[in-house]
Amino acid sequence: MRHGLRATLLRSVFVTALAFGGGPALAQGVNEFGAVIVNGNTALGINNIGSLNFSDVGVLGPNGSPTTDEFDAWGLSRRGVFGTDGTLTWRDATSPGCLCEGWGVAVRYGSASDPVAGFANQSSGNGGLLGGTISATPNTATSVVGLSEAPISVRHAFGPSLAPDTFQVNVTITNTGSDTAHNVIYRRVMDWDVPPTEFNEYVTHKGVAANLVTNGGNVLFASNDGFVSSDPRVLPGDLPVPNFTTTINVDFVDAGAQDHGSVFDFAFGDLAPGESRNFNIFYGSAANEANALAALQTLNANVYSLGQSSPVDPSEGGEGGEGEVTTVASTTTGGPETGEPATFFFAFGGIAGEEPGSSPTNPVLPFVIADPTTGAVTFTFDAPQPRRWYDPPFAIGFTYELVGGGEFIQVGTPPAGAYGDGPFYVYVGGILVATLNPSEFYNFGSGVTKFELRGLEPLDTQDPNFATAFPTFLDFSGSPTSLTMVSILQPDEPTGVPEPATLGLLGLGVAGLLAARRRRRVAA
């Protein structure tokens, strides 16, 4: 057992997790119309219907000052040094100029011949939606809204991810009716306005070609047209970029500099009555491109968009605008080569043809919630679904607990080799009940809402084959509001004799899982 490596990795995770909490609450605000939440050096302004660029007058932002008019909005913001005087300040990468960020869902419901849609965008307009509620803490927010012309619910749950300064958004589209929802399409669109050269940025797309529908993924359309409507029934195009033939459905690097953004359409097929489709969006910022790419690899993102500023002339203040952009290398700073002074990104996971949790190599990822007072770290899986693979980060073990209802039915371990060779120990109420090897499963008795799994072996994150830590298969009853995993720090040798364990393969086909261990790493 590599105790030295384990200690180093665990310290790294916990120090980073404490940073996620952002220390004391930063005066972010929430009301019935939206919220501003903070994760380290990144903030999101979220409307109650799930789009970004929240501008309600009087709500406090992370800097403690209230918004004063409709253009004083919070979208995807970073706290960094954007000028030449070294001042640390918040700057936004989506709200300057226009509040052009949003989403939409289109479906053809039941026997209807035409699709209907619901969409949200503060600039191009909202339509076809019912309700719109939001709940929030200093670093989490959840929006729930329905389509007005079809029984479809759309839930966006925002929270701190496993990567620094990055939010994870768990998106759940649910058919709440009694007929089939056909041809479900989700669109996300944003106009990049990257500081300090707002309206003159470089955009990069990666992972698009590999994850097109024609290649077995879920990407139906992608381009740099960040101004298109959020209604998926409106066909997007692309914005011409010098020296680029097209940005439609291709990967491209550093297109620009000009005022543009990104749009992605995802095709999820049909949803039967009561069925849901889940996937992830990641919004984040970093001090440079290398750090942004490292965050995306940690999160196993399939597709991403980078927004980066143009090089600026320090003698002109670097406050943005085409008149201040120069390409004289000896006098410029920042730009797309290094991604400084900040690289902003949004990305997607679970859109490579299978939804998160379907296999050990594509597990459900947690929110990371840190208590700045006690230092305790809880990894939270929001609105969990049964019979999924869940991936906690590094530790000797974890305490698993269902919150808000439900009982554990079964726990399973991943295949050997990639995630540690075992044995793994299952405790209930402090009593050892099972010893598991890789690819084995234990059936709980009734009434179990909390258990421990010990004997995990952390992996080397610098290994080029690294993708996940220790995915665990979990089945449970009921509809819990969350699943939590709390890291166990101290080693503990098993004591006593375990009760007979019911070991099985769940009909999942372990041979198939072994064959499916291809790592879905972010495109380089």
The rounded distance, in Å, linking the Cα atoms of 88 and 190 is: 25
Residue pLDDT tens, the chain, 524 long = 222 322 333 233 333 333 333 332 333 456 778 888 999 999 999 999 999 999 765 555 565 554 544 447 889 999 998 887 888 888 999 999 899 999 999 999 999 999 999 999 999 999 999 988 898 888 899 999 999 999 999 999 999 998 999 999 999 999 999 999 999 999 999 999 999 999 999 999 999 999 999 999 999 999 999 999 999 999 999 999 998 999 999 999 999 999 999 999 999 999 999 999 999 999 999 999 999 999 999 898 999 999 999 986 544 444 444 334 333 333 345 788 899 999 999 999 999 999 999 998 889 989 887 766 655 678 899 899 999 999 876 667 889 999 999 999 999 998 886 566 789 999 999 999 999 999 999 999 999 999 999 987 654 444 544 445 678 999 999 999 999 998 776 655 555 545 444 333 333 332 232 233 223 333 44
Burial 175-203 (b: 16+ CB within 10 A, else e): bbbeebbebbbbbbbbbbbbbbbbbbbbb
Q: Over the stretch 171-208, which tens digit does the pLDDT of each residue have?
A: 999 999 999 999 999 999 999 999 999 999 999 999 99
Q: Which residues, 6+ apart, have CB-to-CB distance to 364 below 8 Å?
A: 278, 356, 357, 381, 384, 388, 389, 390, 391
Q: Which residue has the tokens 């220390």?
A: 23
The rounded distance, in Å, linking the Cα atoms of 183 and 107 is: 6
- pLDDT, residue 373, reads 61
Residue 433 CB coordination number (10 Å) = 21
The gap between the terminal CA atoms of the chain, to the nearest Å, is 32
Q: Which residue has the tokens 């001042």?
A: 87
Q: Which two tokens stand for residue 47?
A: 């409307």
The rounded distance, in Å, linking the Cα atoms of 39 and 437 is: 37
Helix (H) or strand (E) holding 101: strand 101-109
The rounded distance, in Å, linking the Cα atoms of 358 and 380 is: 18
* Short-list 210, 187, 231, 226, CA closest to 344: 226
Strand ordering across the sheet containing 116-121: 116-121, 101-109, 181-191, 261-267, 219-223
The rounded distance, in Å, linking the Cα atoms of 488 and 413 is: 17
Q: Which residues, 6+ apart, have CB-to-CB distance to 308 below 8 Å?
A: 194, 201, 202, 203, 204, 254, 289, 335, 336, 339, 342, 343, 344
The rounded distance, in Å, linking the Cα atoms of 8 and 13 is: 9
Q: What is the dihedral of CA 317, 318, 322, 326, to 10 degrees?
A: 100
The rounded distance, in Å, linking the Cα atoms of 405 and 393 is: 24
- Tell me the CA distances in angstroms from 204 to 247, 343, 373, 516, one per residue in order: 10, 11, 39, 29
Total residues found in the chain within this entry:
524
- pLDDT, residue 70, reads 42
Whether residue 139 contacts residue 159, with contact meaning beta carbons closer than 8 Å, is answered with yes
pTM for this model (two decimals): 0.82
